[in-house]
Amino acid sequence: MIENQSKLDSFTIINTNNYDYKIGKNGEKLVYGSFWTNKQRYGNSIQEISYRACFKPQLPDFFLSKYSNSKSIVLDPFAGRGTTAIESALLGRIPISNDINPISKILTEPRLMPPTIEDISNRLSEISFDVKESADIDLSMFYERKTEGEIISLKNYLIARKEEGKEDYIDKWIRMVATNRLSGHSKGFFSVYTLPPNQSATQEEQIKINKRLNQKPEYRNVKRIILKKSKSLLKDISPDIRKNLFDISKNVIFLEDDSRNLKELKDGFVDITITSPPFINLVNYVKDNWLRLWFNGYDYSKLKDKITILSDLNKWSSFIKETLKEIYRVSKIRGYVAFEVGETKKADLSEIVYKIGIELGFRHISTFINMQTFTKTSNIWGVDNNKKGTNTNRIVLFQKI
């Protein structure tokens, strides 16, 4: 048992100045409050990697702090940018990071083995750039000619290092940062102004953006941008934190399984699962990451059938049921599952998850409804506020009994 059960129950049901408790129409416990937003602490700088539809690091921190101990095994079957995995490692837990999209591991693994700025600077100085290099596809709508040459030189260097078996944690870090800097809407990215860095415009879409904004790509210094972003990511990483992350990284498990068949994991292996499944027909993870996949040598057209896009509520519900069934299998007795769901006007997804979990044999502890007031920045990132200027995300908390 991870923590005294009476303490957990008392936390979820006692009304305080910060939390409101209600019973839903199906008998589920609903707890309302600002649990990990607004006045909560800021996340570690190393979490500041953009990815579509990701949650804040404060969310896994909240559940890890209350429902796990040091050395607990933490699963995220939809790892995305690795928020749960990184936060787990920062708290001394052992992450299992699963995502069928290979970009997930590229963005996550290097941040569990962060090099120093000196390491990164020295390695970048050793990489030769040929500004005359060109891509095998037309990227002129994104990059100035010399910038494209630098990007291709870096891509070729990383491919060679990997093929020769020489790729190390410094190379992986540079790969991760470059992947994150491929496109965005400031001079801190390699590209001309485009969509936010959590999604890539197609070539046709970018041509239209350039025409509408009357812009053309300007030169960007690739090495300088990588170094600047690295400094930002590493600003909160002390020598002790770096050592602890390296120690944790020796036991991390990376998987690229379908969430409904985590075939490498044995029964009753996981202490706590913290995750957020794909949205209903909203996010095309292949299209959003096509430029990142190209840079890392993947044929994104071949991933279309592997990465699930759930087109309607029935397919989503079926997918969630199969996933939760697999999570139940790999969870320890008295292990926890914190399952975050988005909102839709057509259905209460947390209610669907609640019913599925009960049917599978989980004990429902409570559904946390986090109330968040959005800022102007949130609107830039495509968050759809309601009329009161707030929005919620719901986390259904189960326990295997």
For 354, the token pair is 């609640």
To 10 degrees, what angle do helices 222-234 and 145-163 make?
70
Average pLDDT over residues 232-260: 97
Taking a C-beta distance cutoff of 8 angstroms, is the pair 305, 369 a contact?
no
Cα 78 to Cα 75, 278, 315, 338, 345: the distances in Å are 9, 8, 17, 12, 23
Confidence (pLDDT) at 305: 64
Query: For the chain, what are the domain ranges?
Result: 5-104+240-400, 117-233
pLDDT at 20 over 50: yes
Give per-residue pLDDT as tens, 135-194.
999 999 999 999 999 999 999 999 999 999 999 999 999 999 999 999 998 999 999 999
Confidence (pLDDT) at 8: 42
Confidence (pLDDT) at 345: 61
Greater model confidence, 383 or 284: 284
Q: Map tokens 């090099």 to a residue.
A: 115
pLDDT band at 358 (very low <50, low <70, confident <90, very high): very high
Confidence (pLDDT) at 190: 97
Q: What is the pTM of this model?
A: 0.88
Average pLDDT over residues 357-364: 97
Give per-residue pLDDT as tens, 324-344.
999 999 999 999 999 998 766
pLDDT at 79 over 80: yes
Confidence (pLDDT) at 304: 65
Question: What is the 3-state secondary structure of 248-276?
Answer: HHCCCEEECCCCCCCCCCCCCCEEEEEEC
pLDDT at 399 over 50: yes
Confidence (pLDDT) at 7: 42
Q: Does domain 5-104+240-400 have CATH number 3.40.50.720?
A: no
pLDDT at 346 over 80: no
